[in-house]
Amino acid sequence: MRSLLSRHDTVAIMPTGAGKSICFQVPALVLGGLTVVISPLISLMKDQVDALREQGIPATYINSTLTLEQQNERQEALRSGHIRLLYVAPEKLESTYFEGLLGCCDIRMVAVDEAHCLSQWGHDFRPSYRQILPFIQNLRRRPLVSAFTATATPEVQEDIIQLLGLRSPDVHVSGFDRPNLYFEVRRGEDKKKFVEAYVKAHKNESGIIYCATRKDVDKLYTLLAKKGLAVARYHAGLTDPERTKAQDDFLYDNVQAIVATNAFGMGIDKSNVRYVLHYNMPKNLEAYYQEAGRAGRDGEPGACILLYSPQDTQTQRYLIDVSTENEERKAHGLAKLQKMVDYCHTPECLRHFIIHYFGGDSPATCDNCGSCKAGLTERDITRDAQMVFSCVYRMQERFGLTLVAEVLKGSTSQRVRSMHFDSLSTYGLMKERSLSDIKLLIQRFVATDYLALTESKYPVLCLKPSAIPVLKGQKKVLQAVPVEVKKQETPPALFDHLRALRKEIATREAIPPYVVFSDATLRDMCNVLPTTLDEMLEVKGVGELKLKKYGEEFLACLEEHRSEAS
């Protein structure tokens, strides 16, 4: 905010839930004139504009959901200078008429949300974002320009600066850590049973379940609905009214969970999502961290659990292959996919892996991920490493993970015999182990930077420099113990009473429950236990406006609970 109020072009990389929106909303009010906010999804615009209007701030959006009469009314409000923040999609900037309309306005700032969409190396490249710079250049006076995102590698940060034409921008990276989120990867699970059991065990909590394909969404949704669970589904194959209903049911807590593809979620400002389950592995860490980051936006604990199976890798390889004919983009996508696979197999701290990927620093352990909760007790696996590395070397670093595993297992398959791999000294060294265990061991060596898989349609295993001293007996290899399940705490009875009142008010006012008060505010209310309106102001998230609107009702609820307890 200081950068923007000093009228410096600004790039801000902040984790989901850290307050990106307020960083451009407050300067917009101070700078005066009009701030144009470029936003990728209609749902994001509506949520943010609704929240601003709730605070009495003149904000609006113009998009395809409006009638002609509504559009005309909002355009007139723009011409008269009554609007301080205007939300639009980047596609709108292609309209000559709309560009002319904005050209007559006193635009003081352009704020680009989800700015990673500018970069073709980002996880969600949108060509329409390339219209922003020409739009800015055609304005009669260049406004202040700001860009915000939660997920940008150093490479993507450079693209954002260049493609928006930023002038000596201040770049703020507030860190990628979300300490309230618990991360876990589970391999070899019966995914359907796990999800069903998890949703049942957390029936009073909101959650998102991401699937890689529409087919998986439909199957899982049908299964959960048949079990009597209150779920919705969301993907691009549904009609607009079906998607809108599913999204609203989720926002208004009419369902406890939503099963969705990655078409759902960007801009959904629902603060009380307690868990995000990934039924399939996403195609890269940027997409995963953004989707997982929709849990715990209120700062309260959230669980992010990824269910991995080897088939997930093949599915994502196929999706990358059909998504583009550009070989450079395809290779780039495969490299990012391999990092995602590495995350699923690393025996080390999951939080450290993510933060390091985005160029940040963090301790080697966090005590809030599946690896760390398991204790990260190390054991010496140097002999296993030497057998694997030696086998890769003797196969001349020309073959993939599966064939290397088969040789170590001592497979009698035709391919192994026809290539005479059964005569290698490493043949059958791990014959007492299952093939899946050997593959997992090799994947972990890839994840921990001892081996590499080439960025190609048929990846080949290669030795990395760190493997050489291990082969020579000059260095040991240590590995952590397997992960454990983290149990969730049950919310207190008072919290449930407050949630019920919040839902009642939200239904009455036709707004999402989290707009009334966040989960974090309700939990602090349980801690503070205010008995007067003045004491209610001590609760985090309760300001004068909301105190006036809801204070008496929540005080009455607290008093009722006290009476019942006594």
CB 285 within 8 A of CB 354: yes
Q: What is the spatial distance between Cα 80 and Cα 184, in angstroms, rounded to a whole number?
A: 52
What is the CATH number for 111?
A: 3.40.50.300
| Furthest C-alpha separation in the chain | 84
Q: Name the token pair of 246.
A: 């599913």
Strand partners, 208: 258, 276
CB 298 within 8 A of CB 314: no
What is the CATH number for 515?
A: 1.10.150.80
Strand partners, 59: 85
Residues 242 and 339 in one domain: yes
Amino acid of residue 77: A
Is 2 strand, coil or helix? helix
Residues 237 and 361 in one domain: yes
In a domain, 305, yes or no: yes
Residue ending a domain, among 322, 347, 373, is 373
Residues 395 and 541 in one domain: no
Q: Name the residue among 441, 458, 432, 380 with its Cα closest to residue 405.
A: 441
- Domain extent at residue 453: 378-480
In a domain, 499, yes or no: yes
* Pairing, β 107-112 against β 34-38: parallel
The string of DSSP codes covering 305-317 is EEEE-HHHHHHHH
* Pairing, β 206-210 against β 144-149: unpaired
The string of DSSP codes covering 201-259 is HTTTSEEEEE-SSHHHHHHHHHHHHHTT--EEEE-TTS-HHHHHHHHHHHHTTSSSEEE
Q: What are phi and psi of 158, to 5 degrees?
A: -60, -40
Query: Between vectors from CA 154 to CA 22 and to CA 331, what angle results, nearest 5°?
Result: 125
Q: What is the pLDDT of residue 527?
A: 87
* Sign of the CA dihedral with 339 first, then 345, 348, and 349 last: positive
In a domain, 190, yes or no: yes
The string of DSSP codes covering 99-159 is HHHHHTS-EEEEEESSGGGG-TTSTT--GGGGGHHHHHHHSSSPPEEEEEES---HHHHHH
Residues 260 and 388 in one domain: no
In a domain, 485, yes or no: no
Instruction: Give how many domains the chain has, as a whole number.
Output: 4
Residue ending a domain, among 456, 480, 504, is 480
Residues 463 and 512 in one domain: no
Residues 203 and 344 in one domain: yes
Residues 464 and 335 in one domain: no
In a domain, 486, yes or no: no
Residues 397 and 515 in one domain: no
329-338 contact pairs (CB < 8 A, 24+): 329/120, 331/455, 331/456, 332/121, 332/455, 333/283, 333/284, 334/455, 334/456, 334/457, 334/459, 335/455, 336/123, 336/283, 336/284, 336/285, 336/286, 337/283, 337/284, 337/313, 338/446, 338/453, 338/455, 338/459
Q: What is the spatial distance between Cα 133 and Cα 166, in angstroms, rounded to a whole number?
A: 9
Q: What is the spatial distance between Cα 296 and Cα 143, in angstroms, rounded to a whole number?
A: 34
Q: Name the token pair of 6.
A: 């000093």
Give pLDDT tens digits for 250-304.
999 999 999 999 888 765 778 899 999 999 999 999 889 989 989 998 889 999 9
Q: What is the pLDDT of residue 160?
A: 93
Q: What is the spatial distance between Cα 282 and Cα 288, in angstroms, rounded to a whole number?
A: 6
Residues 470 and 498 in one domain: no
Q: What is the spatial distance between Cα 514 and Cα 520, in angstroms, rounded to a whole number?
A: 10
In a domain, 57, yes or no: yes
Q: What is the pLDDT of residue 17?
A: 67
Q: What is the pLDDT of residue 377?
A: 67
In a domain, 438, yes or no: yes
Residues 110 and 73 in one domain: yes
Residue ending a domain, among 173, 189, 212, is 173
Q: What is the spatial distance between Cα 383 and Cα 393, in angstroms, rounded to a whole number?
A: 15
In a domain, 487, yes or no: no
Q: Which of the 8 DSSP states describes residue 93?
A: G
What is the CATH number for 454?
A: 1.10.10.10
- The helix or strand, by DSSP H or E, that contains position 509, with its residue range, turns out to be helix 493-509
Residues 277 and 333 in one domain: yes
Q: Name the residue among 286, 149, 251 with its Cα closest to residue 506.
A: 251
Residues 163 and 193 in one domain: no
Residues of the chain with pLDDT under 70: 17, 43, 121-123, 266-267, 375-377, 480-492, 566
Q: What is the pLDDT of residue 488?
A: 45
